[in-house]
Every structure is written in C-alpha cells, then in structure tokens.
Structure 1
C-alpha cells in the first residue's frame, strides 16, 4: 500500500492549497453566498441526482435511468475505496484557520465524491438529453465550487474528483 507516500504528497499539497481555500471561503462569506452553497451541497448529497434520474426516466425511459443508477453505484464504490486508501484529511481538520460551513458525509476529502458524481451525471445527461444537460451543467459547476467555499475540500480534491467522474462517465458511455 502506498499510503505513506500519498500522505507526504497530500501534506505538501495541503500547504500549497490552504491559502486558496481561505480565499475562496472569505470570498463566499463576503458575498453572503454560504447559505446558497450549503443548499447546493445538500442537494448534491443525492436529492438533485435522484430527481434527475426520475426526469430522465420520464423523458427517455427506464433503460436510460437504470443506466445512470448503475453508473452512480460504480462512482460511489470507486470514490469510497479511494478515500479509504488515500486518507487525506479535510482542510478544516488540518488547518485551524479553515472552518467547515456544511454537513460532512464522510471523514476524508480526496477525491470529492460530490464533484465526481456531478461531472459523471452531467456527461451521461449530455449523451442522453443534451438540452437537459444544459440545465444540469450550472448546478454541477456550483457543486464543485461549493466543496471548496464550504471548507470541505481542497481544490485538487475537486479537480481529481471531476477527472475521475469524467472517466467513469466516458467509460460507461463506451460500453
């Protein structure tokens, strides 16, 4: 297991990214956007995606909705395994000057499961219903931003989560 090597890499990245986290949190607070991003984050816990699957089932049929469910299960399994294996503490745990402004669903931060699911669902939706994807894309961007401005993730957690979500979605579409 490469955990010690990963831990050292994360320690160095944490030092570099903590100022970005503090700046993003301060930006959201100055503009009183924290309640908006908390709502986005809560919807990104699953409610938005369940509703999207329901809409896809109505518009495109059960097969498309079932395809999204199976892909979502793969996303969940992959990100949970990565979090347990890589063990990166959340920014508010590592840095006393970074506060968490939302409910935490699990212990570790790398990769961002919310962003992973959001990007994967957006990619699947773009293939199934491009018009619907145009409605989903702004929410996906807000989910990704919410993870940092709420103190839940480092920017690299979000970027890697997005990349993994894209890869899972692309792999699912190629099958």
Structure 2
C-alpha cells in the first residue's frame, strides 16, 4: 500500500485471492462420493484474508476476522459432527465404515440394491458399492458409507437383519480409522 497506493494494494490482494484459491483446491480431496478438505480450504482462504487486511493497515479488522475464524472453526465443529452422525457413546472417532455381504454372483445386482436400500432406510447413505469376486460363483458386495461416525449398534442391527430376514449367509461390517 505504501509503494503503490490503494489501487496497487487491491491488485496485490486479487493475486492473493487467486493464489490461495489454487492452494485451497489442492487440499480438497474426493473419496468416492465423500469430499474432504473443504473446511481446511476455507480456513486457508480466511487466513489469507487476515494477512491481506493486516497488510492494508487495518489491524483491528484483521484481529477481528482472525478471532471469527477461530470461533467458527471451534464452535461449528459440533454441528459438523452431528451432520456426520455422532455415535451415542460420544466418541469422536472418524472412520470409514463398510458393510459386506456375500452372495451368488448371479444375484449380485439385486443383492447390492437391497443392501443400499436397507442402509439408506437407516439414514446411512452409501458412497460406493463394489463387487469383489470370491470364486466358486460367489461375490462380496461391499457398501462404503458416507458417514464418518456410525454407532456400532446400528450396523450390528442391519447385519443381523440381513442375515436373519433375507437369508444372507455372510454379512459383516468393519470400520477403518483414518491416519
């Protein structure tokens, strides 16, 4: 601002916006139908805005914005957890959940549809559905869930229902924690 005045500082801020947008796009990752890193990208952009405001000699505004970013990231986290299905035990373990059933290769399509239908009926949206060959005309149908926090009791109930009501010989679920 001191070297080129208001017009040049606006031009520099425009370059900061586009540069940070590029960096923010690099932290956004897509895993199946699940997108991660949006909060990180938004926080990067807000941090750049704080720096641009501070560089324009608006220190009070920069401090206010920095405080708002910290408060938003801290106070909105419980809302994010609620959206991602907080388990009843109160754990905040983030994991990838998958439900697997084994059936005949000729019935893979209907079994996959039934699995997705049962999971979505329990408000557990499916990110991916994979069919893996087991040999001897059998396949594993693996449904990976969008949710990152699912109570184990709900998954146990679904697996038990599939085994008892629908006669699925092998139905199981697993959770893999993120590193």
Per the normalisation by structure 2, the TM-score is: 0.35
The structure, 1 or 2, with the larger RCO (C-alpha pairs under 8 Å, 6+ apart) is 1
**Structure whose residues are more often helix by fraction:** 1
Question: Greater Rg, structure 1 or structure 2?
Answer: 2
**Structure whose residues are more often strand by fraction:** 2
